[in-house]
Homo-oligomer: A and B are copies of this chain.
Amino acid sequence: MNTQQKRYFLAEDDIPRQWYNIQADMVNKPLPPLNPATKEPLRPEDLFPIFAEELARQELNQTDAWIDIPDEVRDMYKYYRSTPLVRAYGLEKALGTPAHIYFKNESVSPVGSHKLNSALAQAYYNKKQGVTNITTETGAGQWGAALSYAAKVFGLECAVYQVKISYNQKPYRRSIMQTFGASVEASPSMSTRAGKDILTRDPANQGSLGTAISEAIELAVSTPNCKYTLGSVLSHVSLHQTVIGLEAEKQMAMAGEYPDVIIACFGGGSNFGGIAFPFMRHTILEGRATQYIAAEPASCPKLTRGQFQYDFGDEAGYTPLLPMYTLGHNFMPASIHAGGLRYHGAGTIVSQLLKDGLMKAVDIQQIESFDAGVLFARAEGIIPAPESCHAIAATIREANRCRETGEERVILFNLSGHGLIDMTAYDQYFAHSLQNYEVTDEQVAANLAKLEKVI
């Protein structure tokens, strides 16, 4: 029996009033995104046709370390923030580890994941600018659900392209988006040129985030008063997510500890950046020794096997060129259940940090991820999202290492979302019908070789 504190909350007054922009503090700044036609570095106004202006400015801001959170957004944060920082006593006991394991429980957001932190901000800035309609892509549907609700809050219409494999695997997420008033289409669809091109080549195509992004951008630029929004990858999305780490920093102080290791799953980087960047400023500015570990799926290993180069953010090549670790924007990931991690590239900030050795990445097989998720569910009572299972698996590896060495390391991971809408994945796990998928260095090289060298 434990008599120590289990969960830590902040008073509403202590919810952060600013997001943290790590770009301002990085010694080596991310290389600039490029205009694909001119190969010139992008200016914010180049992004105005696609994004709300304030978001475009945030995207390229490399000078201001702190960005004010608008009152209207912060007031909506109060609907579910602070999220609890939780000491995982149940998991520690199940593992028999001397490690102290904490997790930031973003799954208690009303839409089930951390995605709402940026959705509210993006919807707000679009509304403020007079935009009436927003579009987006979604994989597993966590981002789509968050944006659907955020759009409703700020009175915007919302259209979502959901990756087809997830649309079929997780029908409840579509229902959730519709309950919040959004329209939802499976991607690739016949409603855009990008979708039609793919379906013509490959009628059974199950979609990818890269393709869904192309479709959403195409709809945005061809619809009056409509902008595109993105749930990860871009720097302004990670910026909004830093509310996670900023809260966690205060909450860890309440617990009287500081993390030795910080772990998050990795799709485009927003939940990883959200929890890691606020702590990383102490590493950059004060030399504090903390390990940062991104846990990606072995089936989509851009950080562990990808190349650092300029590439498109989407399948059709509508986006600017981004300097990133990538498997190639033509990469079609295996149909794993962690739909939010099925993306070919990493955000530009994380790519630079990885290149500079400030963080590391591990790859996790699908079955190991669900082994970890079930162990966690039974120990802590929370069924994690398939994406979050990757962070838990990486945490368990670290905790088991501590058991061997006897080290009392402090591990903090981000529980990015719950898995209640992903139960078919758990059914398949228990039926032993889940597969592992391997992507080799040779496959990545062959895939990248197919692309024109864009710069």
Contact = CB atoms under 8 A, between A and B. Distances in A.
B423 A176 contact: yes
Interface of A: 1-3, 5-7, 9, 12, 71-72, 75, 78-80, 86, 90, 108, 110-112, 116, 149, 152-153, 171-172, 175-176, 178-181, 374, 377-378, 380-383, 420-421, 423-424, 426-427, 430
A180 B377 contact: yes
B7 A430 contact: no
A80 B381 contact: yes
Contact of A176 (B78, B108, B179, B420): B420
Nearest to A178: B430
Contacts of A381: 79-80, 110-111, 116, 149, 153
Contact of A175 (B6, B7, B71, B423): B423
Contacts of A382: 110
Contact of A378 (B6, B80, B181): B181
A79 B149 contact: no
A2 B179 contact: no
B75 A380 contact: no
A383 B179 contact: yes
A120 to B, nearest CB: 10
A420 B179 CA distance: 11
Given A378-B152, A381-B111, A7 B179 contact: no
A389 to B, nearest CB: 12
Contact of A420 (B5, B149, B171, B172): B172
Nearest to A116: B381
Contacts of A71: 1, 3
Contacts of A374: 179
Contacts of A153: 90, 381
